[in-house]
Amino acid sequence: MTALLRTEGIKKAYGGVQALNGATISVDEGTIAGLIGPNGSGKTTLFNVITGYQRADEGQVHFAGKAITNAAPDKVFAAGLGRTFQLTRIFPRLTVLENMLVAAQHKRQQRHTVRRRAMELLEFVGIDRHAGLLAGSLSYGQRKLLELAYVLVADPAVILLDEPAGGVNPTLINLIADRIRELNSQGKTFLIVEHNMEFVMGLCSTITVLESGAAVVSGPPEMIRTDKRVLDAYLGADVEDDDHDGTDPADAGAQEEIR
Amino acid sequence: MTGDRRPWLIRAILLVLLVAGAVAFPKVFTNPAVTNYGVLALIFVTVASAWNIFSGNSGYISLGHAVFFGSGAYAMGIAARDWKVQGTTVFALLPLVAAVGAVIAVIFGLIALRVRRHTFIVITIAVFFIFQLSAFNLRSFTGGSAGLNSPFLNWPSAGYNTPFYYIALAFAGGTIAIAVAVRRSRFGLQLRAIRDDEDRARGLGVRAMRVKLTAFVLSGAITAMIGAVWFYYINQVEPQTGFDPLFDLLIVLMAFLGGYGSIAGPVLGALIIEPGTLWLNTQPQFSGGYLSEILLGAVFLVIVLFVPRGIIPTGGEWVMRLRTRGRPAVVPAVAGAAAVGSTAGSAAAGPASTGDAPAASPASKGGAR
- B206–A172 C-beta distance less than 8 A: no
The mean pLDDT of B321-326, rounded to a whole number, is 69
Residue B138, pLDDT > 90, answer: no
pLDDT over 70 percentage in chain A: 87
List alpha helices for B153-285, DSSP H.
Answer: 161-184, 186-202, 208-234, 239-242, 245-258, 264-282
- A133–B202 C-beta distance less than 8 A: no
Separation between Cα atoms, residue B109 and residue B103, nearest integer Å: 10
Closest residue on chain B to A102 (Cα): B190
Chain B, 140 to 159: residues with Cβ < 8 Å from chain A are none
Same domain for A67 and A166? yes
DSSP-derived secondary structure letter, B296: H
Same domain for A75 and A167? yes
Hey, which of A121-130, B215-224, B259-268 has the most confident mean pLDDT? B215-224
Separation between Cα atoms, residue A234 and residue A244, nearest integer Å: 18
Residue A234, pLDDT > 70, answer: no
Domain boundary among A130, A155, A180: A155
Cα A26 to chain centroid distance, Å, stands at: 13
Same domain for A234 and A164? yes
pLDDT the model gives residue B60? 92
**pLDDT tens string B148-178:** 887 777 777 777 788 889 999 999 999 999 9
Residue B212, pLDDT > 80, answer: yes
Reported as type and span, the H/E element at residue A184 is helix A170-185
Same domain for A129 and A12? no
Closest CA to A72 of B204, B110, B115: B204
Does B366 touch chain A if contact means CB atoms closer than 8 Å?
A: yes
- Residue to mutate among A102, A107, A138, with most B CBs inside 10 A, is A102
Domains and CATH numbers, chain B: 17-309 (1.10.3470)
pLDDT the model gives residue B2? 41
A62 lies in some domain: yes
For chain A, the domain total comes to 2
* A105 → closest Cβ in B190, B332, B359: B190
**pLDDT tens string A179-210:** 888 888 888 899 998 888 888 888 888 888 88
Q: What end-to-end distance do the CA atoms of chain A give, in Å?
A: 23
Show Cβ contacts of residue B84 under 8 Å, excluding neighbours closer than 6 positions: none
A164 lies in some domain: yes
Same domain for A42 and A115? no
- Residue to mutate among A85, A105, A106, A180, with most B CBs inside 10 A, is A105
Same domain for A161 and A247? yes
| Domain hosting residue A201, numbered range | 3-80+156-255
Reported as type and span, the H/E element at residue B11 is helix B2-28
pLDDT the model gives residue B147? 78
Residue B102, pLDDT > 90, answer: yes
Chain A, 135 to 154: residues with Cβ < 8 Å from chain B are 136-142, 144-145, 150-151, 154
Residue B204 with chain A: CB contacts under 8 Å = 74, 77, 82, 102-103, 105, 150-151, 154
Domain boundary among A131, A155, A179: A155
Q: Residue A224: which CATH number?
A: 3.40.50.300
Same domain for A120 and A234? no
A141 lies in some domain: yes
The mean pLDDT of B36-58, rounded to a whole number, is 93
Same domain for A134 and A169? no
Does A169 touch chain B if contact means CB atoms closer than 8 Å?
A: yes
Same domain for A120 and A201? no
Separation between Cα atoms, residue B165 and residue B186, nearest integer Å: 33
- A129–B208 C-beta distance less than 8 A: no
The mean pLDDT of B195-206, rounded to a whole number, is 87
Residue B347, pLDDT > 90, answer: no
Q: A27 near A3, Cβ under 8 Å?
A: yes
Residue B344, pLDDT > 50, answer: no
- B367–A139 C-beta distance less than 8 A: yes
Cα B123 to chain centroid distance, Å, stands at: 19
A243 lies in some domain: yes
pLDDT band, very low/low/confident/very high, at B99 (cuts 50, 70, 90): very high
Residue B243, pLDDT > 50, answer: yes
A86 lies in some domain: no
**pLDDT tens string B58-87:** 989 999 899 999 999 999 888 888 887 777
Closest CA to B11 of B295, B19, A1: B19
Separation between Cα atoms, residue A151 and residue A121, nearest integer Å: 10
A112 lies in some domain: yes
Residue A42, pLDDT > 70, answer: yes
Same domain for A72 and A13? yes
pLDDT the model gives residue A44? 87
pLDDT the model gives residue A108? 62
Phi, psi of B208 (to 5 degrees): -60, -50
Give every strand in the sheet of A17-28, ordered side by side: A17-28, A3-14, A58-63, A66-67
pLDDT over 90 percentage in chain A: 0
Work out the widest C-alpha separation in chain B, in whole angstroms: 79
Higher pLDDT: A169 or B193? It is B193
pLDDT over 90 percentage in chain B: 29
A52 lies in some domain: yes
Distance from CA of B367 to the nearest CA of A (A): 7
**pLDDT tens string A135-181:** 888 888 888 888 888 888 888 888 898 888 888 888 888 888 888 88
A85 lies in some domain: no
DSSP-derived secondary structure letter, A134: B
Work out the widest C-alpha separation in chain A, in whole angstroms: 56
ipTM of the complex: 0.75
- A168–B204 C-beta distance less than 8 A: no
- pTM of the full structure: 0.78
Higher pLDDT: A53 or B88? It is A53
pLDDT the model gives residue B289? 57
Mean pLDDT over each residue of chain A, to the nearest integer: 80
Domain boundary among A138, A155, A172: A155
Same domain for A146 and A163? no
Residue A239, pLDDT > 50, answer: no
Same domain for A96 and A125? yes
